[in-house]
Structure 1
Amino acid sequence: MLTHVLLDQSLLHAAPGLKVGAIYYKDIIVGESPKMIKGRLQFYQETLHTELQDLPLIEKEGIAEWRHIFKAAGTDPSRYRPSHESLARAVKKNGNLSFVHSAVDLNNFFSIQYMLPAGIYDASALKGTVTVKIGEEADTYEGLNGRTNTFKDKIVSSDDIGAFGSPIVDSNRTKTTTETTEALQLFYLPPSLSKKEAEKLLAASAKMFHQIHSGEADVAILDDEQTVFSFQKTT
C-alpha cells in the first residue's frame, strides 16, 4: 500500500527553512534494548546530566531555536515544551530516562543527542496520507501523557483517521510496541541545520536503528523543495 508523508505549506510559511526527516522502517524486530545500547544511553545521559547542572536549559544548543519555532507556529513554549526539552529536563533532574523498548529508547536517544524533537509511530496504525502541519481546533488525541490533547496552533501530524503525533507528545493510537514490525520515524529539523547535515543525521540514525532492529529503511528529507515522501507499506 503506497503511503505519502506531506509537509504542509502552513508550517513552511510559519518557520521558513524548517525540514522534516522521515524514515520508514519495515521488517523490523522491536524488543528490550540490548545491554550495549542501554549502556551507551546511560553513559550519554549521565554526561548530559553533568553538563546541565551548570547550564540553564534555555542555553542548551537546540532548545532556544525550537522555542522560537513554537512561537512562530502560535504555541507558547513555556506551557507546551518541545519533546526534546522535556527529555532534557528529565535527564537534568533525574540523571536518566526510563527504558521502554528498543524503538522508543533509541528514538529518545536520537532526540537528546541531536537536541531536536523526534517521534516514532507504528506504521500499521497509519491510514492514508500523513500530513505534518499547524493544527486546527479539530486536531485532538489521547496522548501518551494520559490526557486529551488539542493541537490548535501547534505542530501536529495527522492521517486519514485524525491527528496522531507532534513534537510535544504523541498519541496512544500509533505508539510503537514490541509487536511493531513497520514504523515511521519523524525528525523535526530546525532551519539552522543544513540539508547536508540533515542527510548525515538521518543516515546515521537509520544505520543505528537497523543495527538493532534489522529490516530495511527508506529515508527522505521534506522541505520547501520536496514536500512529499512516498513509501510502500507492508500492511
Structure 2
Amino acid sequence: MKEVSLIVKIKPLLFIINDFPLFLEVKPLVTSIHASLCNKIPDFKAGIITYDGIQVGDSPQMVKGRLQLFQESIFFDLQEKELTDFQGIKEWRQVFKAAGTDPSRYRPSAEALYRRIKKQNYLPSVNSAIDLNNFFSLQYEVPIGIYDTDQVSGDTVIKIGESGDDYTGINGRTNSMHNMIASADGQGTFGSPFVDSERTKVTEETKNALQIIYLRPSITIEDGLKLTESLMDMFVQVHGGEATCKVITCKG
C-alpha cells in the first residue's frame, strides 16, 4: 500500500517574544489511505486539494446558472437512461458493495444527487463552495467532499469505518460509518462519499478547506490528476486563495 502525503505551501507564522522575532513553521496536512480500504478496493484513488485563504459567499450568477442548466440537462438524459448507464454512478455502486455497504440503502452522494434531479427536485443554492462542489459531483459522476480544515484535527486518513465510528451529518442524523468508506482525523470520522459531517462543513466563514474527490477506480492516475487540477483551477477562479493538489492511491 502507498500512503501519499499531500504537500502544500506553508507560510511560517511570525511571533514576537521579548522583542525578538520567532518564526514557527506549520506542519502541512497529510492525507493517506488506510490498509483497511486498500485491502478491499486495491484500485482506490482520491484527488486531494487543499485551499488556503479562500473567500466563500453567495454563488456568482454564472455558477448558479451553470448548475441549474446542467441539472435540467441531466433531467432530460434521465428520461431515456437508467442511473446505471452513467459510468461513475455504476462504478461507485460497485465500490460501496466491495466496501461492505449496501448501495441500495446507503447511496453514494453523486447518485443521491442524480436521483433528486430525476424527480425534478433540483438542488438549491447554498453557498459558492457547496454549489461548485455539487456541480463537480454531477459533472464527473463521483462523490466529492469539501471540509473546513480549521475544524479538522491533525492529519486525515481515508479508511473503512469501524464499530463506533459515527457523526452528526449535514442530513441532521447520526450516521454510522461502520463498514463504510470514511475520512477521519484526530477527533474521529468526519466525512464519507455517503454524507459529510456537521462538524467540518464549509460555511461562508471558511477560509481554508480540504477537498476530497472520490475518483472512479478505473481512472488512470494521469487522468485523475487532470480532473483534479481542472476542478481546483475553477474553484480558485471563484474563491481566490492558493491551492495545491495531488492524487493518492493504494499502489506503489
Name the TM-score, length of structure 1 as normaliser: 0.94
Residues 52 and 208 of structure 2 are in contact (CA less than 8 Å); yes or no, is this contact kept in structure 1?
yes
* Structure 2 residue 170 is matched with structure 1 residue 155: no
Q: How many equivalent residue pairs?
A: 226
SS of 2:211's equivalent in the other structure is: strand
> Cα deviations across residues 172-223 of structure 1 (Å, max 9, x unaligned)?
0000000000000000112211111101101100000000000010101110
Structure with more contact order per residue of length (Cα contacts < 8 Å, sep ≥ 6): 1
2:193 — aligned with what? Answer: 167
Question: Alignment identity in percent?
Answer: 49
Runs of 4+ in 1 over 6 A off after TM superposition: none
SS of 1:133's equivalent in the other structure is: strand
* Gap regions ≥5 residues in structure 1: 227-235
1:222 — aligned with what? Answer: 248
Aligned partner (choices 58, 61, 67) of residue 84 of structure 2: 58
For the pair shown, which has the larger CA radius of gyration, 1 or 2?
A: 2
1:106 — aligned with what? Answer: 132
What is the Cα deviation at residue 9 of structure 1? Answer: 1.5
1:229 — aligned with what? Answer: none
Counterpart residue type for residue 141 of structure 2:
M
* Structure 2 residue 14 is matched with structure 1 residue 6: no
1:230 — aligned with what? Answer: none
RMSD: 1.0
- Tell me how far apart the structure 2 counterparts of residues 105 and 214 of structure 1 sit (CA, whole Å): 16
2:122 — aligned with what? Answer: 96
Residues 46 and 95 of structure 1 are in contact (CA less than 8 Å); yes or no, is this contact kept in structure 2?
no
SS of 2:132's equivalent in the other structure is: helix
What is the Cα deviation at residue 95 of structure 1? Answer: 5.5
- Tell me how far apart the structure 1 counterparts of residues 154 and 121 of structure 2 sit (CA, whole Å): 40
* Structure 2 residue 48 is matched with structure 1 residue 22: yes
> Cα deviations across residues 105-163 of structure 1 (Å, max 9, x unaligned)?
00011101000000000010001111100000121000011110001100000100111
1:183 — aligned with what? Answer: 209
- Tell me how far apart the structure 1 counterparts of residues 49 and 192 of structure 2 sit (CA, whole Å): 16
SS of 2:78's equivalent in the other structure is: helix
Residues 45 and 95 of structure 1 are in contact (CA less than 8 Å); yes or no, is this contact kept in structure 2?
no
* Gap regions ≥5 residues in structure 2: 1-25
- Tell me how far apart the structure 2 counterparts of residues 145 and 67 of structure 1 sit (CA, whole Å): 20
1:213 — aligned with what? Answer: 239
What is the Cα deviation at residue 54 of structure 1? Answer: 1.7
Counterpart residue type for residue 185 of structure 1:
Q
SS of 2:244's equivalent in the other structure is: strand
SS of 1:184's equivalent in the other structure is: strand
Counterpart residue type for residue 222 of structure 2:
K
Aligned partner (choices 100, 121, 126) of residue 152 of structure 2: 126
Counterpart residue type for residue 43 of structure 1:
L
- Tell me how far apart the structure 1 counterparts of residues 210 and 76 of structure 2 sit (CA, whole Å): 32
- Tell me how far apart the structure 1 counterparts of residues 78 and 51 of structure 2 sit (CA, whole Å): 33
Counterpart residue type for residue 156 of structure 1:
A
Residues 43 and 251 of structure 2 are in contact (CA less than 8 Å); yes or no, is this contact kept in structure 1?
no
Counterpart residue type for residue 13 of structure 1:
N
- Tell me how far apart the structure 2 counterparts of residues 9 and 108 of structure 1 sit (CA, whole Å): 29
1:68 — aligned with what? Answer: 94
Name the TM-score, length of structure 2 as normaliser: 0.88
What is the Cα deviation at residue 34 of structure 1? Answer: 0.1
Counterpart residue type for residue 52 of structure 2:
K
